[in-house]
Chains A and B, each alone.
Chain A
Amino acid sequence: MTDRAAGSVRNIAWASYLRSYGLWVLAAVAIFALPHVFDSRANQSMFGQMGIFVVFALSYNMLLGQSGMLSFGHAVYFGFAGFISVHVMRIIESGFAFPVVLLPLFGAAAGLALGIIFGSFSTRRAGTVFAMISLGIAELVGALAFFIGFFGGEEGISGDRMSGPSLPGLSLGPQIQVYYVIAAWTLVAALLMYAITRTPLGRMANAVRDNPERAEFIGYNTQRVRFRMFALSGMFAGVAGALFAIQFEFLQFNNIGVAASGSVLLMTFIGGVGFFMGPILGAILVTFLELELVNVTQAWLLYFGLFFVLMVMFVPAGLAGLIMRHQPIWRAGILHKLAPAYGLALVPSLIFAVGAIGLIEIIYFTSTRAGLNTVMSVYTITFDAVKPLPWIIAGVVAAGGFVLCRLTFPTVRKVWDEVFLEAMAKLNR
């Protein structure tokens, strides 16, 4: 091969790399710039938390989306690695010369080790058996964490991230430094997880998810495939756990049990399990809602539950699925044709939301503060929450919105289908 030919081959390789990794460069820029645009300490802390849960949710999707394993216990690996990291932090405090910024290496090792132990028997089957075993392990570990000294019981354990040797200019004191450490690890972990999707193991995990029987007849032991994905997934959950330890310097039994496991399932599902981007979007959105809704309403958990139910019912492919379905329409350049339909969907949805929010607020208010003060205000309207009228008004608005949704959505769907077909026809031409 001549030099020039070799050069052009290299250029093509570069172009293909840029196409598949170009988005990553963009993400890196955004990750760098964000904490300077929104530069309050609270925002920087929130961005850090988003990074942590992006890694955690991506590791979870190595099981759910890529390998078809529904786990109810993924926080076990996250939490265990987090506790290990806090302990290592304490050892660093008492003289062990190890930089705290490299704690995720310990986290990865801890998550991997525990993943190997629990994965060795739980990955024999996918499906319900696997799901139940994962739930059992989470219950078990969650309960143990309450009693065993290692986990600090009810009080939890804490460490100090500023101890030990630090790299020059990286004391981990200012929140922005913590953020950049988390961001760097997030980027590395996400890149590695993305790369794994494009390896023989990653692809065979998809094959085993789709049709485990056939995979055995082309040479693959399906348990081995699941086991390896499981162990790797535990490893990345461990990285997330260590980052959590660095950010909060504190872990407690509730970081390791079923509830924490449910939360990562929720994020991943809302984001969409069918695309690599899904868990990233889900982790960012859910973390944002969790942190911001608390400031807006005390009934945030109720909204959260409602949001999850609505997503599962109406957008089972998640945010990423929803976005990707618009891709052909966007490429055909006819996205604007959806605007009237979406406008039509928006109005009844808003009416329903207004009614539902009113209702939830009244229910929450009366069920938590009954007997004392009965006067509350919603939408700046002040009223007596034990009188029937506010209930009736909110109920009627919510029900009316719901009925209007039922009436208009078929039309919206019809328009959508037409636009989609038009896009496909355009693209195939």
Chain B
Amino acid sequence: MNPPAAIHPPTAIQLTDVRKSFGRTEIIRGVSLEIRKGERHAIIGPNGGGKSTLFNLISGKFPVSHGTIKLNGEDVTNARPFEINRRGLSRSFQVTNIFPRLNVYENVRCSVLWSLGYKYSFWNDLNRLGDVKERTEEVLEQIGLTARRHIPAAVLSYAEQRALEIGITIAGGADVILFDEPTAGMSRGETEHAVNLIRTLSKDKTLVIVEHDMGVVFDLADRISVLVYGEILTTGAPEEVRANKAVQEAYLGVDA
């Protein structure tokens, strides 16, 4: 019934000639990229290559210097972060970015409020919102912090904070999720746990992940883009990228 969709799966994120300069230096130098709906897409590349900056552009933290960004077919170029989030995109941060004085439960609860439609309500008693409670507890269970719910986020261990970071990101139920190095600084066991978590949580969703651990990348990703000095060197399935000469020289060679 739907042959065009089979040939061209609908896109979740579409970047067209996106550029970003800080002062005189151009950090993102004309990136065009299409993230398909439902795919798990990894972005790899050397330090300082512009991966986080690209995320900051897509999620609305910085305005672009040039180019357009579309989310689910709608133009979101230079929209504010909350507008982009309300249209179904959520992101995590490379450096943990949580609400330090609120406890774990409140951190997650804040992240589900908008998506459940409570907006700026000052007439609903939080503790009587069954849907909020249910969703919050579900997320806490998923990220394994149920037992730590009353602890202020600031005093969690590093790995726990990273788990909370993931929880805050997915709690609102966004269907496009960007993870910026979710496993950075984790031990091998913690990494494995986090990757399994991400795999479960991103089921039926579009996932874009920046990750340095090549094992994780080749294990998780449907497609991989290589970003080097603000340009996409190549995009393709893991085997293609692994076989690509330029990539081996620019990135993988150094790593292996």
Contact = CB atoms under 8 A, between A and B. Distances in A.
Contact of B80 (A16, A211, A214, A221): A221
Given A211-B99, A213-B97, A214-B98, A220 B114 contact: yes
Contacts of B93: 214
A232 B124 CA distance: 15
B158 interface: no
Interface stretch (B39-47, B104-112, B192-200, B241-249): B104-112
Which among B80, B110, B119, B168 has the greatest number of chain A C-beta atoms within 10 A?
A: B110
Interface residues of B, number: 36
Contact of A218 (B100, B114, B123, B124): B114
30 contacts: A16-B127, A199-B124, A200-B113, A200-B118, A200-B120, A200-B126, A203-B102, A203-B109, A204-B110, A204-B113, A206-B102, A207-B106, A210-B99, A210-B100, A210-B101, A213-B97, A214-B97, A215-B110, A216-B81, A216-B82, A217-B59, A217-B61, A217-B81, A217-B91, A217-B97, A218-B171, A219-B113, A220-B82, A220-B114, A228-B120
A115 interface: no
Given A198-B125, A203-B110, A219-B172, A224 B100 contact: no
B22 interface: no
A195 interface: yes
| Chain A facing B: main interface SS | helix
Contact of B110 (A216, A218, A224): A218
A239 interface: no
Given A200-B119, A203-B106, A207-B102, A219 B85 contact: yes
A199 B110 contact: no
Contacts of B150: none
B86 interface: yes
A33 B121 CA distance: 36
Given A219-B115, A221-B80, A200 B121 contact: yes
Contacts of B125: 195, 198-199
A26 to B, nearest CB: 21
A378 B82 CA distance: 64
A201 interface: yes
Interface of A: 16, 195-196, 198-204, 206-207, 209-211, 213-221, 224-225, 228, 232
A228 B119 CA distance: 12
Interface of B: 59, 61, 80-82, 85-86, 90-91, 93, 97-102, 106, 109-111, 113-115, 118-127, 168, 171-172
| Chain B facing A: main interface SS | loop
B82 A221 contact: yes
A224 B113 CA distance: 15
Which among A198, A211, A217 has the greatest number of chain B C-beta atoms within 10 A?
A: A217
A206 B99 contact: yes
Contacts of A219: 82, 85-86, 113-115, 172
B165 to A, nearest CB: 9
Contacts of B127: 16, 198
A196 B113 CA distance: 15
A210 B102 contact: yes
Contact of A225 (B106, B111, B120): B120
A216 B118 CA distance: 15
B135 to A, nearest CB: 13
Contacts of B80: 216, 221
Given A200-B118, A206-B101, A214-B93, 17 more contacts: A195-B125, A198-B125, A198-B127, A199-B126, A200-B120, A203-B106, A206-B99, A211-B99, A214-B98, A214-B168, A216-B82, A217-B59, A218-B111, A218-B114, A218-B171, A218-B172, A219-B85
Contacts of A209: 101
Contacts of A16: 127
Contacts of B81: 216-217
Which among B99, B109, B127 has the greatest number of chain A C-beta atoms within 10 A?
A: B99
B228 to A, nearest CB: 27
Given A207-B99, A211-B97, A217-B90, A196 B82 contact: no
